Amino acid sequence: MTRPTRLPSFDVYEEARVLITGGLGFIGSHLAKALAELGADVTIVDSLIPDYGGNHYNVREIKDQVRINYSDIRDPWSIRYLVRDKDIIFNLAGQVSHIDSMTDPQTDLDINCKSQLALLEACKENNPNARIVFAASRQQYGKPEYVPVTEDHPLVPMDVNGINLIAGESYHLLYNNIYGIRTVSLRLTNTYGPHLLMKHGRQGFIAVFIRSAIEGRDIDVYGDGSQLRDFTYVSDAVAAFLTVALVEGTYGNAFNVGGLEPISLLEVAKLCQELAGMGGGVRTVPWPRDREKIDVGSIYIDHTRLAAATGWEPTVDLRAGLSRTVEFYRDHGEHYWS
């Protein structure tokens, strides 16, 4: 892979025909907005499963500039039609709750494996020239043997979601290698920002921290809170998606999308309370037994490979990103709380 001196120009997205699965969700909706502003012809696919991240309010600013197609990616026939004539597919639809993957593993498998394979088969049959960017997760690594975790770290996930994401990612890379469909996978770390699902706490702790802080409640941190994590602000994640789709050298590969500096959970919780300023505190509490088994300790990821291949780097630091996020939910929380 060559090292570009700067990011590729996003001008080529003008009039590009783009499909975004999960486009009413957290990252998908920001991606849709960025693409609409770049002049792309955007089709969103979303099924609005109640407990998932899809929310009409996420596309309030662009609803007249994008086409919204209500469909579940588990329906192979509609997907088969929808992938036709698209230049680029941002494939973000998925079951993303680690907890739900343990209580209902078959649904996780249907969405994260079966549907992904169907989408790839649809492209193979109907649109082999499409480029596809898949949203994967650092969850795939499991408990790290070393940090920061590189893409070569063993994949030993500690939940069904991680196992299925590996399969979903592997199908994408295989279809590149065997059938020449240009695919690339982004392994996202904790991504945050406006539009994050807030209805429940099963999609990750950062939403719980932010909501508790805004509502003036104490934040409970499991263990001693010293576990390190990294965070990507959503605009940086969007830039990563827009970038990799355009860089030939990325196809057939998986890349970590990380953050600036790792920080302990305790510090993140304190920062949320400070920025919200609603008087809530931070408590450390013992691990619940069912959570302790799937705790991975400190984990943060190395995005050197993506930086080298594309020039992408995260730019928004946690204080700035969380500040914008808290402000967003203060103003718009009513559309997210339930």
The binding site for its own copies (CB under 8 A) comprises 102, 105-106, 109, 113-114, 117-118, 121, 152, 154-155, 157-160, 163-164, 166-167, 170-171, 174, 177-178, 293-294
We find the least distance from the C-beta atom of residue 242 to its own copies, in angstroms, to be: 27
For residues 289 and 221, the answer to whether their CB atoms sit within 8 Å is no
Taking alpha carbons only, the member of 252, 236, 260, 262 closest to residue 309 is 252
E strand spans, the chain? 17-21, 41-46, 66-70, 88-91, 131-137, 182-188, 190-192, 219-222, 228-229, 231-233, 253-257, 263-264, 282-285
* C-alpha of 250 from chain center: 18
Q: What are phi and psi of 254, to 5 degrees?
A: -110, 140
Residue 95 CB-density burial (10 A; 0-12 exposed, 13-18 middle, 19+ buried): buried
Smallest gap from Cβ 319 to its own copies, in A, equals 36
DSSP letters, 88-103, are EEEE------HHHHHH
Q: For the CB of residue 321, give the shortest distance to its own copies in the complex, in Å.
A: 33
For residues 12 and 294, which CB has a smaller minimum distance to its own copies in the complex? Answer: 294
Please identify, using beta-carbon distances, which residue of 23 and 157 lies nearer to its own copies. 157
Q: Give the residue with the Cβ less far from its own copies, 157 or 321.
A: 157
Considering the complex, state which of residue 74 and residue 200 has its C-beta at the smaller distance from its own copies.
74
CA dihedral (72, 78, 80, 86) positive or negative: negative
Q: How far is the CB of 109 from its own copies (least distance, A)?
A: 6
* Residue closer to its own copies (CB basis): 140 or 232: 140
Instruction: Find the shortest distance in angstroms from Cβ 76 to its own copies.
Output: 9
In the complex with its own copies, the residue whose CB is nearer, 68 or 79, is 79
Report the nearest approach of its own copies to the CB of residue 84 (Å): 20
Q: Between 103 and 129, name the residue whose CB sits nearer to its own copies.
A: 103
DSSP annotation of 111 reads: I
Q: How far is 259 from 232, CA to CA, in rounded Å?
A: 5
Residue 170 CB, nearest approach to its own copies (Å)? 4
Question: Beta strand pairing status for 190-192 and 219-222?
Answer: unpaired
- Specify the length of the chain in residues: 338
